[in-house]
Structure 1
Amino acid sequence: MAGLKALIDGKNEKGFACFKANDIKGVANLFTEDAKIMPPGSDTAHGREGVEKAISGYRAAHGVTTLKLKSEEVGPMGSDFTYDRGTYTAKAEDGTVADTGKYVIIYKKVGGDWLIYIDIFNTNKA
């Protein structure tokens, strides 16, 4: 299980770097081609193009430039799926906290690589 947690933490770090660099295509490439992302207050977005739109919209709506996930639970779901559940903190360029919440990400093994298949997150803000 420690190896799985390290793998997920590595994927998260890559995503953080892309997000901070405003490399939305780089973030989307961490997702499967048939991905689903379910941001708060929005319909489910499908595929990498949908992920790009959802992530760009979230950045713009909240003024977010950095994102950090804190995995609280990681576990296998058979041989080709795993999940990551935890909390997130999103910060504006000046370092102030723009949003906090919780998430569940389901990873799918595609061609030997683990990619995000389903991402749902919910803000703690009312």
Structure 2
Amino acid sequence: MKKNIILATLAALFFLSISHPSMGQELPAIRKEIEKDNALYFRLFQNKDAAIVTLYTVDGILLPPNAPAVSGRAALLKDFKAAYADTKLKGVKFSTSNVYGDGKLYLCEEGTWQVFNTNGSIIDTGKYLKLWKKTPEGWRIFRDIFNSDRKS
């Protein structure tokens, strides 16, 4: 009987420990790392740098509005080169609103974005969700979905 009570107590403690994942002390530090990567994304986009795809996981997927999913770094590079060829675009800036998760393998970032033309004027705004994945290289974008605030 005593053995059953101990086992039941251990089982209850186990289920309680996994049912309420901790936000952890690392989340603010991870958010700063993500915000640094977002600033790097802006600089790479502004300079039309192919290295922008290294901010994504090897199997990363971009989910743009009104277009098919863009899967993997080779396809991402092709997509970014097309965006770079658009002479009206100069850059994109992200503003992180929230970061959710436990900081172990995946995190979800929620925020807003702005797109700038060559004159530095904002030509579009919107919102996004990014699913970040922890890799040996650090946090990388695993899934990236966004849409515009403009009415169709």
Provide the TM-score with structure 2 as the length reference. 0.75
Structure 1 distance, partners of 2:137, 2:58, is 15
1:6-45 equivalent positions in 2, closer than 5 A: 6-23=32-49, 25-45=50-70
Instruction: Call closer, same or farther: CA 1:112–1:80 in 2, change over 3 Å.
Output: farther
Task: Pick the structure with more helix per residue.
Answer: 2
Which structure: greater strand fraction?
Answer: 1
CA contact (8 A) 2:30 2:103 kept: no
Quote how far apart the aligned CAs of 1:78 are.
Answer: 5.7
Name stretches of at least 5 consecutive residues in structure 2 with no aligned partner: 1-26
1:96 aligned onto 2:121: yes
How many residues in Structure 1 have an aligned counterpart in Structure 2?
125
In structure 2, C-alpha distance between the alignment counterparts of 1:57 and 1:91, rounded to whole Å: 16
* Aligned-partner residue type, residue 8 of structure 1: I
Q: Is the 8 A contact 2:59 2:72 kept in 1?
A: yes
SS in 2 for 1:41: coil
Deviation at 1:53, TM superposition (A): 2.5
SS in 2 for 1:28: helix
Task: Establish whether residue 70 from structure 1 lines up as the match of residue 131 from structure 2.
Answer: no
> Looking at CA atoms only, which structure, 1 or 2, has the larger radius of gyration?
2
Corresponding residue for residue 3 of structure 1: 29
Tell me which moved more, 83-92 or 95-104: 95-104
Q: TM-score, normalised by structure 1?
A: 0.90
Q: Determine the structure 1 residue equivalent to 2:131.
A: 106
In structure 2, what is the equivalent of residue 82 of structure 1?
A: 107
Q: Mean alpha-carbon deviation: is it higher for 66-75 or for 50-59?
A: 50-59
> Percent identity of the aligned residues?
26
- Is 1:121 matched with 2:146? yes
- Cα separation, 1, equivalents of 2:139 and 2:75: 19
User: RMSD over aligned Cα, in angstroms?
Assistant: 1.7
Residue 37 of structure 2 aligns to a residue in which SS?
helix
* Unaligned stretches of 5+ residues in structure 1: none
Runs of 4+ in 1 over 6 A off after TM superposition: none
